[in-house]
Amino acid sequence: MTRISRRGALKSLAGVAASGAFPFVSSPLRAQNNPIRIAVICPLSGAMQPVGSPVLIGAEIARDQINAAGGVGGRMIELVTRDDKGDPVQSIGAARELVGAGANLIVGVPLTSTALALAGIIESIDGVYISTGTQDETLTHERFTRHYFSANENGITRQRGMARLLAEKYPDVRKWTAIIPDISIGHGSWNRMSIGLTESYKQLYGKDVEIIDPILTKLGSTDFKSQIVRLLSSPAEGLHNVLFGSDGITFFQQANQLQLPQKFGVISEQSIDIDLPKTLQGAIPKNIWSSSFWYHGAFPDNQVSKDLAEAYTKKTNDKNPHAFAALSHTGVHAYAKAIAAAGGKTDSKSVIDALENLPLDTAKGKSFFRKEDHQIITWGSAFNVTPTSTNPQGWEIKNFAAIDLAKITNPPEPGQPFKI
């Protein structure tokens, strides 16, 4: 295991709210018995369901853990779930409905398109939204609102961390290209990775890297053979993949058929995570490093991570938990801790005030939401899958890393246009 420089531990949160009746509730009996409702909005059907289901699972595990420990001041957590199918219109409709019904604390909405839509109206409906997956930096910059919090690292931070890891492990790979969807998130992700690679090789070795123009694909493509042929003739030594979902899976299946992985010294993958080896199984190339919001094996001494992984496996019979489960797990626990710190109050202002700089014990270690822009300051992780004939699934993870992102997270600039 590789561990990249660690930040000093944060101070633990001092004290929790006393159990019993809360002063903001008119009836003591109601205060003791009325559950705390947290809304979970995510795609539970349609093409984006594989992303949404882990979000719900992580939230459910957090709920069960909190309730088993007595709830928050004796009040139980209740999840209210809506399927937005990955559609921004449905995300907004679900949020308006739930906040109007008193479930003002929202976690989920993991896609960038749906996150941007919900963040755009969350203040106007007086809700609070902890996102679980989008890396869009504008949400903590020009689109910033105090009603929004990000439970995962943003794009520039994630790519810088991954680039640093790759530079340390592959010092001789200095010609890089990428395959990306020809949309803004594709170009933006590769731009951030290019910056990270350039910075890392210069800082570590005083050497420049050659950044070669990426190969573009149409979103929703099913045939990548022409792009693969172009990559085979590229002078690049390292390849970065930004294709996600079924596009990414199909690309790697076809790349294997044409022996593309053998051309590159290393392939960096940011979009498919644990779903790639689960799909390719024994056909997974051994030179792929995947960036992950949470790979549980990278945090062997973290009890929160251990408990979450164990609960996920028990719930799903899957020994390789999905990273998005850790993000929603963090979100629900953060709400519970903020409510306790606020003396049991669940109104949006009280919860927002409590969440800012609140120390959190997460599956990725000590973390907190930065007060200025509500970006979480946390750890990242990455893993390398090796094909094997000794494991029924055909693959195993032997190489992995926990990455301290605190020192490379971009400075807070709420309200300012994001600039790389």
CATH number, domain of 218, equals 3.40.50.2300
Domain assignment of residue 194, yes or no? yes
- Strand-pairing partners, residue 402, are 3, 381
Do 341 and 356 lie in one domain? The reply is yes
Is the residue at 416 inside a domain? no
Candidate from 45-54, 160-169, 222-231 with smallest mean pLDDT: 45-54
- In the chain, % of residues over pLDDT 70: 92
* Contacts of 391-400 spanning 24+ positions with Cβ under 8 A: 393/277, 393/278, 393/281, 393/282, 394/281, 394/282, 394/283, 394/284, 395/277, 395/280, 395/281, 395/282, 395/284, 397/277, 397/295, 397/297, 397/320, 399/2, 399/289, 400/1, 400/2, 400/295, 400/297, 400/298
Which residue is it, tokens 């006393």?
Answer: 18
pLDDT surpasses 50 at 187 = yes
386 and 261 co-located in one domain:
yes
pTM of the model: 0.90
Interval 298-351: pLDDT, tens: 999 999 999 999 999 999 999 999 999 999 999 999 999 999 999 999 999 999
- Pair (284, 318) in one structural domain: no
Percent of the chain predicted with pLDDT > 90:
87
Q: How confident is the model at residue 19 (pLDDT cuts 50, 70, 90)?
A: very low
Question: Would residue 367 count as lying in a domain?
Answer: yes
Predicted confidence at residue 30, as pLDDT, reads 44
Report yes or no on 347 lying in a domain.
yes
* Within-domain flag for 240: yes
Are 368 and 388 part of one and the same domain? no
**Per-residue pLDDT, 245:** 85
- Whether 363 is covered by a domain: the verdict is yes
Q: 235 and 268: one domain?
A: yes
Q: Are residues 178 and 284 in the same domain?
A: yes
More confident residue, 30 or 342: 342
Question: Structurally, how many domains does the chain consist of?
Answer: 2
Per-residue pLDDT, 305: 98
**Residues 145 and 187 placed together within one structural domain of the fold:** no
Residue 170 included in any domain: yes
328 and 259 together in one domain: no
Give the C-alpha separation, 217 to 90, whole Å. 28
Which domain range does residue 275 map to?
Answer: 156-292+380-404
Q: What is the pLDDT of residues 344-392, one digit of tens each?
A: 999 999 999 999 989 999 999 999 999 999 999 999 999 999 999 888 8
- Output the average pLDDT for the chain: 92
DSSP sequence for 386-404: EE-SSSTTSEEEEEEEEEE
256 and 400 fall within a common domain: yes
User: Quick one: average pLDDT of 48-67?
Assistant: 96
Same domain for 187 and 169? Answer: yes
pLDDT of 216 strictly over 50: yes
pLDDT of residue 32: 53
Euclidean distance between CA atoms 238 and 235, whole angstroms: 9
pLDDT confidence of residue 16: 33
CA distance 317 to 324: 17
Cβ-in-10-Å burial (0-12, 13-18, 19+) of 262 comes to exposed
Which residues lie across from 387 on neighbouring strands? 395
Residues 113 and 138 in one domain: yes
Query: Does the pLDDT of residue 27 top 50, yes or no?
Result: no
Q: What is the pLDDT of residue 137?
A: 96
Q: What is the mean pLDDT of residues 184-199?
A: 95
Q: Above 70 in pLDDT, residue 31?
A: no
Averaged pLDDT, 86-95 = 98
Per residue, what are the HEC states of 28-62? Answer: HHHHHHCCEEEEEEECCCCCCHHHHHHHHHHHHHH
Q: Any idea which residue has 């008119």 for tokens?
A: 26
DSSP 72: B
Regarding whether 78 and 201 lie in a shared domain, the answer is no
Check whether 7 has a pLDDT greater than 80.
no
For the stretch 217-274, pLDDT in tens is 999 999 999 999 999 999 999 999 999 888 999 999 999 999 999 999 999 999 899 9
